[in-house]
Structure 1
Amino acid sequence: MNITVHRPGELTAADRLAWTALQSKAHLNGSPELANPFLSPEFALAMGQARRGVHIAVVREDGEPVAFFPFQRTITGVGRAIGLGLSDCQGLVHRPGFTWDARELLRACGLAVWEFDHLTSGQEPFGAGASGTFPSPVIDLDQGYEAYLAQLHENHAKFIRRTLTKQRRLVRDHGTVRYVHDERDPEVLTTLMRWKSAQYRRTGRSDRFAHPWITQLVRRLFHTRSDSFAGILSVLYAADVPVAAHFGLRTERIIVNWFPAYDPSYAKYSPGLGLHLRMAEAAAADGIAHLDLGRGQKAYKDSLKTRELAVSEGWVALRHPVAFGHRARRAPLRALRNTVVSRPELFAPADKLLKRMGKIRSLGRE
């Protein structure tokens, strides 16, 4: 096994095609999760333009590439999953039956430790270092939208009736409602990011779009398009005014739910839920197998999901002072966060406090 490490722009066209081919055939080889857009060469290339320290390890056998491992590395050898904190799927893309030694891979990559928070399934050499596993809901669409809608009626009848009623009320109150699955107007993307920033502040969360590199990354991915990958902006309009939008990424079979938001002045119509139903309908018609809603406890995800995937967080580490130091700093924070999120009696007051602080912060901006 030969391992070479490259910056994203150094990958040859042949290597990129091989990587894409592994993803395109992943569902046929029993590893559909490897087709996730966050594991695509396009996402790695965009991250390489947005952030320093992005590298890709290429594993070859008999001269042929059999695995690709994107990661970020500091000068001290601390490694992180590419896009840690932003990406909802992480791991090594590989051919069927390929096995690897995680620590051998770390040494070849110049890493003392590699941290992940959304490790996908089928990554057993890395999974041994997992400190926790969490549900990541998805919407299955491979049987078509009508089958999905029938399942919603069966499992969440009250929810789907209420949502569809609100959509009819939106039409009655505001006239024509239309949905654009793949909107190409960059001004609408700007509107979405403005809504999302306001939502982060309103709920007391850290505003991701306050970081210029994230805004630049999203814009770059919006303009990235190929047969196997695209940034996709989906928009719900009422009387030609955008009321809800979502920007995510897609491969041939998967769309990832990344940045959904809506205009709060239309909140009584639940435009975000209406948007997700339109997205599911259009995605099914486009041959998408599932829409990945991403890890995180949200009521709308529980109502829309058909099942859950499992993603893990943790570290793979060598016996190295840098690895010990990194884990000593990060482990207590992760443990505290997961304890709060997993226990309703702790999460409810913490969430209420964050929203109160967000309201104060928003008032201070006015």
Structure 2
Amino acid sequence: MKITVVKPGDLGPGEAETWRTLLRSGSPLVNPFLCPEFTMAVGRLRADVRVAVIEDGGRIAGFFPFERHRFGIGKPVGSGLTDAQGAILAPGVRLDVPWLLKSCGLSVWEFDHLVADQFPAYHSSRHPSPIIDLRGGLEGYLTEMQKNSGKTYKSTAYKERKLGREVGEVRHDYAVTDPEALRTLLGWKSGQYRRTGRSDRFARPWITRLVEDLLQVNTPGFAGVLDLVYAGDRPIAGHFGLRSDTVLAGWFPAYDISFARYSPGLIQHLAMVKAAAQRGILVIDLGRGEKEYKEKLKNGELEVAEGRLTRPTPSAGLHWLIRVPIRGARNTVLSHPQLLRPADKMLKMSGTLRGVLRGRESAARGGSRDIRS
């Protein structure tokens, strides 16, 4: 075997097509985060993205996309944003991990959403990733949801009718390409991050640019998909995700909190399910994580793994000392509701406090300008 490490932009059309072919050889359900278009889009915005091209007998047998950080620490492309990670390999290909890492200039490759059948000896934990499985057809899913989450289904339909009466006719637009509509959604999402004490991803310009760039991509095998629900002419909820030809990956859902009493997020998700099914989507991957709306909507689960690929180097040892205990503590909290609820409450209180402080600082700056004037 031979490994050549290149920048994503150096891949030619033939190599990108080989990547797509290898993806489909492993499963008919192709997660868009594993498509070459996603790695190339991130690579245009980040200088640390690389792809290991793996050859066997003079033919390409796989691709390993990664980010290379200081001290030989590697991460998946778009680390912290992606719900599917891993190598893209021809059937039967097995990689020697220390050799792979050395060829890539890495001591460690850390993952948290790895395709669960890859590198099993290096998994530290496995986690469910809820999905909406539409392989039995849309009607089959809706029948199943009414059976398992009938109260949610009925209350969402009732609130949608009420929204139409009180605010304006409800409509759903799928595959919206308007950049202004995307900015509205990202504004809602930033507000949600701040309210809940989370780091605002869209405070990082490259992530905003990435989403804007992906909105403009629309090919049969990969696209950015924005959909919005309107009441009258006012947008109230939306979602931006990625799709292959068979899988829609949930990514950034958000809504206008002034309409929270109508459950706009659930209205939007059910409308999105119907539109996606009509366009041939077989699975909507809601992503790893405990969220109430995911529990209400899911009718199946995938599995993703967390862990590290390593080779014996001082950097790998230092990384273990710093990262592994933190991840272990985080997973302990996430897997125990009696710990997760108070932790989530503390984050929301922190977000509220930061919002109050920002408001006071803004008022103080405004007051100073008034005095000077």
Specify the TM-score bucket, using the shorter chain as the normaliser: over 0.9
Query: Which residue of the other structure, out of 40, 56, 62, is the alignment partner of 2:57?
Result: 62
Is 1:334 the counterpart of 2:297? The answer is no
String of CA shifts for 1:228-274, please: whole Å, max 9, x gaps.
Answer: 11011011111021100100000010010000000001111111101
1:130 and 1:84 map into 2 onto residues whose CA distance is: 17
Is 1:43 the counterpart of 2:38? The answer is yes
Asked whether the 8 Å contact 1:59–1:68 carries over to 2, the reply is: yes
Task: Trace 1:225-244 onto structure 2 (pairs within 5 A).
Answer: 225-244=218-237
Which amino acid in 2 is paired with 1:137?
Answer: P
- Corresponding residue for residue 108 of structure 2: 113
Asked whether the 8 Å contact 2:239–2:254 carries over to 1, the reply is: yes
Larger mean CA deviation between 182-191 and 98-107 belongs to: 98-107
Is 1:313 the counterpart of 2:306? The answer is yes
Question: Is the partner of 1:46 in helix, strand or coil?
Answer: helix
Asked whether the 8 Å contact 2:25–2:90 carries over to 1, the reply is: no
Asked whether the 8 Å contact 1:120–1:311 carries over to 2, the reply is: yes
- Corresponding residue for residue 324 of structure 1: 317
Task: Trace 1:1-366 onto structure 2 (pairs within 5 A).
Answer: 1-28=1-28, 32=29, 35-123=30-118, 126-366=119-359
2:44 and 2:305 map into 1 onto residues whose CA distance is: 27
2:355 and 2:146 map into 1 onto residues whose CA distance is: 38
Q: Once the 2 structures are TM-superposed, how far is the Cα of residue 364 of structure 1 from its aligned partner?
A: 2.5
Larger mean CA deviation between 186-195 and 141-150 belongs to: 141-150
Asked whether the 8 Å contact 1:248–1:258 carries over to 2, the reply is: yes
Which amino acid in 1 is paired with 2:351?
Answer: G
Question: Is the partner of 2:211 in helix, strand or coil?
Answer: helix
Q: Once the 2 structures are TM-superposed, how far is the Cα of residue 160 of structure 1 from its aligned partner?
A: 0.9
Question: Is the partner of 1:161 in helix, strand or coil?
Answer: helix
1:253 and 1:359 map into 2 onto residues whose CA distance is: 40
String of CA shifts for 1:127-166, please: whole Å, max 9, x gaps.
Answer: 2111111111000012221111000011111111111111
Asked whether the 8 Å contact 1:142–1:287 carries over to 2, the reply is: no
Q: Once the 2 structures are TM-superposed, how far is the Cα of residue 75 of structure 1 from its aligned partner?
A: 4.3
Which amino acid in 2 is paired with 1:127?
Answer: P
Asked whether the 8 Å contact 1:24–1:252 carries over to 2, the reply is: no
String of CA shifts for 1:192-250, please: whole Å, max 9, x gaps.
Answer: 11000000011111111111111111111111222211011011111021100100000
Question: Is the partner of 1:128 in helix, strand or coil?
Answer: helix
Which amino acid in 2 is paired with 1:7?
Answer: K
2:42 and 2:56 map into 1 onto residues whose CA distance is: 27
Asked whether the 8 Å contact 1:139–1:290 carries over to 2, the reply is: yes
Which amino acid in 2 is paired with 1:5?
Answer: V
2:168 and 2:24 map into 1 onto residues whose CA distance is: 41
String of CA shifts for 1:37-70, please: whole Å, max 9, x gaps.
Answer: 1111111111112222110011122322121110
Asked whether the 8 Å contact 1:234–1:245 carries over to 2, the reply is: yes
Q: 1:26 to 1:285 in 2, by over 3 A?
A: farther
Same amino acid, percent of matched pairs = 49
Which amino acid in 2 is paired with 1:297?
Answer: E
Asked whether the 8 Å contact 1:134–1:311 carries over to 2, the reply is: yes
TM-score in terms of structure 2 length: 0.94
Question: Is the partner of 1:59 in helix, strand or coil?
Answer: strand
Q: Once the 2 structures are TM-superposed, how far is the Cα of residue 22 of structure 1 from its aligned partner?
A: 2.2
String of CA shifts for 1:157-176, please: whole Å, max 9, x gaps.
Answer: 11111111111111111221
2:174 and 2:25 map into 1 onto residues whose CA distance is: 25
Which amino acid in 2 is paired with 1:313?
Answer: E
Q: Once the 2 structures are TM-superposed, how far is the Cα of residue 341 of structure 1 from its aligned partner?
A: 1.4
User: Which protein is bigger by CA-based radius of gyration?
Assistant: 2
Which amino acid in 1 is paired with 2:101?
Answer: L
Which amino acid in 2 is paired with 1:200?
Answer: Y
TM-score in terms of structure 1 length: 0.95
String of CA shifts for 1:270-326, please: whole Å, max 9, x gaps.
Answer: 111011111111111111110000000001000100111111111011010011111
Q: Once the 2 structures are TM-superposed, how far is the Cα of residue 25 of structure 1 from its aligned partner?
A: 4.3
Which amino acid in 2 is paired with 1:21?
Answer: T
2:11 and 2:86 map into 1 onto residues whose CA distance is: 18
Question: Is the partner of 1:50 in helix, strand or coil?
Answer: coil
After superposition, the CA RMSD in angstroms is 1.2
2:273 and 2:61 map into 1 onto residues whose CA distance is: 33
1:130 and 1:25 map into 2 onto residues whose CA distance is: 24
Asked whether the 8 Å contact 2:156–2:263 carries over to 1, the reply is: yes
1:192 and 1:283 map into 2 onto residues whose CA distance is: 19
